[in-house]
Structure 1
Amino acid sequence: MKPILIYVASEDWAFVSHRLPMARAARDAGFDVHVATSVGSSADAIRAEGFTIHPIPFRRGGLSPLSAISTILALRKIKRTLSPSIVHHVGMQICVLGGISSLGMTTPQVNAMTGLGYAFTSTTARALLLRIVIAVALRFLLNRDHAIFLVQNPDDRAALETIGIDPNRLVRIPGSGVDTDKLLPMPEPAGPITVGFAGRLLTSKGIRALVGAHRILRALGVDVRLRIAGDPDLANPDSVSFEDAKQWNNEPGITWLGHVYDITSLWRDSHIAALPSHREGLPKSLLEAAACARPLIATDAPGCREIAIHDQTGLLVPIENPQALADAIGKLATSPELRMRYGAAARRLVVEKMSAQAIGAAIVDLYNEQIQRTS
């Protein structure tokens, strides 16, 4: 019989967007892949891959104990019914709830920290309290013999060690994999220099700083365009409102596109990719832009600097510094040579270290290693 692998993800669209390369590699390596998630519009896409989907009640960002209990009970039932060979929890909230649902079980767990999120980027009282609660929960729920933590960058590894996670349980794999056969280098578009942004519209993703940088450049008479792909995330306290996002369309040179299904269209129409985020795991938007040979602008922050390497694949700027961001955009806007050099280097980095093939092979090796270690 095929070994059963269960992915537990917050929402079906998030699994499709961020976990397909890993899941496909596991399927191709002989695993029977199951996905436990909150079901929405992407369920058919999951089934089309040959994966079995299991609906669970889940509300991302929710703090209701009753809601958490229903999620825990649903996951526990699925795990007891399937008796999986390994379980892959995705995201901080899922890792905590999944850890509770696995109490008393010895099934190997991969707990993927895809970026430490709002609790670790915000300085509000609520975030600080959440950070304490999360630290305690992770130490006592997941610091167990059959569990490991999967991180995407060295900074997140160090942060988890700081809150008491056993270093021997920490494994780093850089990202979730990018299809470099589908995302290919593109020629620059004609027309004014255009900066592309792809991501949730959160202050912590740097979207307000990026809009501020664009305003600085326009005030100086620089004809730079900004195309914003993504929606507000009202489950996150850091989110921009829909009203603010709509207002950007009224500013000269800014286009808010909303959710973009074909991300290649954004990079085809952009000269530069920007993500001035406060903290990332390893940002998918920059990985995809790099695969398309676009130069990168990002903040010198965890996760971002793993792909946006200063003066190699792009430029790094301080967090929440619109002036420095405007200066970086202006520098690339006036230098076709820099854009071409950085874009080519970004493409090479993704192909060599962060492709779907490389990440898929690494995750399958990790699954097999954990199954053998705990058998």
Structure 2
Amino acid sequence: MRIAIVINTSWNIYNFRLNLIKALQALGHEVIAIAPPDAYSARLEAAGCQYVPILMENKGTNPLQDLLLIKRFYKVYKQVQPAVILQYTIKPNIYGTLAAKLAGIPTVNNVSGLGTVFIVRNLVSKVALRLYRLAFRYPEKVFFQNPDDQKLFTDYKLVKPGLTDVLPGSGIDTRQFRPAPVFTRHRPFTFLMIGRILYEKGVVEFVEASRALKQKYPDIRCQLLGGFDEAGNVGIKKNLFMAWVNEGAIEYLGTSDDVASCILNSDCVVLPSYREGTPKTLLEAAALGKPIITTNVPGCKETVVNGVNGLLCEVRNATDLAAKMEQIYVLPAKELEKTGAASRQLAVTKFDEQFVINKYLAVIAGITAKANQIK
């Protein structure tokens, strides 16, 4: 069977869906990767995928302009002729689904996060909700990465409940991501935030909390790993961010293809985001046996059993975040080790990537059986 995977970047497919691709290939399926070209497109081809480029403006918010995407998706889908299309991120989920319906190809959609649609309420978000309601009449299945997002979509009547299911985020390969053989409390103690430099990721709160904490404990290191994204009004301007770095409030690590090493060199991973699907970085931190501090919001709160493998803090509250960071910092080494071990256990029992892969394989098998019945 020919199966297409469609996301808004080749980077996303390679970093988050590669093991799903391998599982499909192991069953004899041909996998087509459809995404805008970037440095990871060639890596997809090296992994045995046929790569098909498509133009997609990831940050565009003009729905009328984006309607042209339907034509582009339709042309690509008719050219590739997959038996089923797996779609991720908002534009493939909406415009790709409408194009697939016109092309007569079944789709499986994944709502991996709501972006600003439910955080910022404006005309664009209202149009997006109507487009979701239109497009989500047609998929064979719509996966969500946490129960809150699933409930939100069904409460808004954007999708029929019977079409939905919940995945444990993108899952994490717990065989690849393993804790260090020997526990180490680093000197200096290091907090690490991983995420794009966006307001909605809680970067401002992390900077303010780090600044306050370092006044009390000057030796603490507070680091941020992630890229700049100054598009629209959601990204923090580089000159402002670098002023915080130059002030000494935080250390900036830039970007890296080896996130695991950065996590292993830290003592606690922090993500004060306003809302997520289920953050892959927190799943990586859990699998690597690190305590987690994150906000008590949909998508983030699923990764922490409060007081067991980390702490939940209030959203948009730097003072509370600083207090939670201090709680982790003052833990004795044995308690810190115990907290990290609980994170690892949660990753293995709840977030292992195989759970995600098995659900996809089951849905694809059902689509195949349905197609055979029609024949």
Which of 175, 193, 197 is the equivalent residue of 1:201? 197
Sort the Cα spacing of 1:212 and 1:36 in 2 relative to 1 into closer, same or farther, 3 A. Answer: same
Pairing 1:180–2:174 present: yes
Tell me the equivalent position of 1:60: 58
* SS of match in other structure, 2:51: strand
Percent same amino acid at aligned positions? Answer: 27
* SS of match in other structure, 1:184: coil
Pairing 1:354–2:351 present: yes
The 10-residue stretch of structure 1 (338-347 or 219-228) with the greater mean CA deviation from structure 2 = 219-228
Q: Deviations over 1:200-220 (max 9, x none)?
A: 111111111011101111222
> What is the root-mean-square deviation of aligned Cα atoms in Å?
1.8
Cα deviation, residue 188, structure 1: 2.6
Cα deviation, residue 342, structure 1: 1.8
Which of 141, 148, 151 is the equivalent residue of 2:141? 148
Q: Deviations over 1:99-121 (max 9, x none)?
A: 22123343221111101111112
Contact kept in structure 2, 1:174 and 1:359, CA below 8 Å: yes
* SS of match in other structure, 1:196: strand
Which of 356, 365, 370 is the equivalent residue of 1:368? 365
When normalised by structure 1's length, the TM-score is 0.93
Contact kept in structure 2, 1:188 and 1:270, CA below 8 Å: no
Letter aligned with residue 345 of structure 2: R
**Counterpart-to-counterpart distance in 2, 1:236 and 1:166:** 33
Tell me the equivalent position of 1:331: 327
Q: Which runs of 5+ in 1 are unaligned?
A: none
Contact kept in structure 2, 1:224 and 1:253, CA below 8 Å: no
Pairing 1:162–2:155 present: yes
Tell me the equivalent position of 1:219: 215
**Counterpart-to-counterpart distance in 2, 1:5 and 1:119:** 29
**Counterpart-to-counterpart distance in 2, 1:195 and 1:307:** 17
Q: Which runs of 5+ in 2 are unaligned?
A: none
Which of 221, 242, 247 is the equivalent residue of 1:246? 242
* SS of match in other structure, 2:31: strand
**Counterpart-to-counterpart distance in 1, 2:328 and 2:110:** 35
Tell me the equivalent position of 1:302: 298
Q: Deviations over 1:35-65 (max 9, x none)?
A: 1110011111111110111010111021356
**Counterpart-to-counterpart distance in 1, 2:277 and 2:19:** 16
Letter aligned with residue 106 of structure 1: G
**Counterpart-to-counterpart distance in 1, 2:371 and 2:33:** 22
Sort the Cα spacing of 1:44 and 1:355 in 2 relative to 1 into closer, same or farther, 3 A. Answer: same
Letter aligned with residue 306 of structure 2: H
Letter aligned with residue 136 of structure 1: R
Letter aligned with residue 20 of structure 1: L
Contact kept in structure 2, 1:189 and 1:268, CA below 8 Å: no
Contact kept in structure 2, 1:22 and 1:176, CA below 8 Å: no
1:1-375 alignment runs, 5 A limit: 3-64=1-62, 68-122=66-120, 127-144=121-138, 146-164=139-157, 165-186=159-180, 187-235=183-231, 237-252=233-248, 254-335=250-331, 336-373=333-370, 375=372
Higher relative contact order (CA 8 A, sep 6+): 1
**Counterpart-to-counterpart distance in 1, 2:234 and 2:62:** 19
**Counterpart-to-counterpart distance in 2, 1:149 and 1:374:** 19
Cα deviation, residue 22, structure 1: 2.1
Cα deviation, residue 357, structure 1: 2.6
Contact kept in structure 1, 2:62 and 2:124, CA below 8 Å: no
Contact kept in structure 1, 2:168 and 2:355, CA below 8 Å: no
**Counterpart-to-counterpart distance in 1, 2:285 and 2:69:** 35
Cα deviation, residue 237, structure 1: 2.8
Q: Deviations over 1:260-315 (max 9, x none)?
A: 11012211211000011111111001000111100000000001111122112210
* SS of match in other structure, 1:102: helix
**Counterpart-to-counterpart distance in 1, 2:225 and 2:188:** 18
The 10-residue stretch of structure 1 (365-374 or 318-327) with the greater mean CA deviation from structure 2 = 365-374
Sort the Cα spacing of 1:111 and 1:173 in 2 relative to 1 into closer, same or farther, 3 A. Answer: same
* SS of match in other structure, 1:40: coil
Cα deviation, residue 69, structure 1: 4.7
**Counterpart-to-counterpart distance in 1, 2:62 and 2:116:** 18
When normalised by structure 2's length, the TM-score is 0.93
Q: Deviations over 1:344-375 (max 9, x none)?
A: 11111112232233322222122222333455
Letter aligned with residue 158 of structure 1: K
Any runs of at least 4 consecutive aligned residues in structure 1 with deviations exceeding 6 A, and if so which? none
The 10-residue stretch of structure 1 (77-86 or 29-38) with the greater mean CA deviation from structure 2 = 77-86
Contact kept in structure 1, 2:100 and 2:106, CA below 8 Å: no
Q: Deviations over 1:206-251 (max 9, x none)?
A: 1110111011112224532111000122335311112123223213
Cα deviation, residue 142, structure 1: 2.0
Sort the Cα spacing of 1:368 and 1:283 in 2 relative to 1 into closer, same or farther, 3 A. Answer: same
Cα deviation, residue 75, structure 1: 1.7
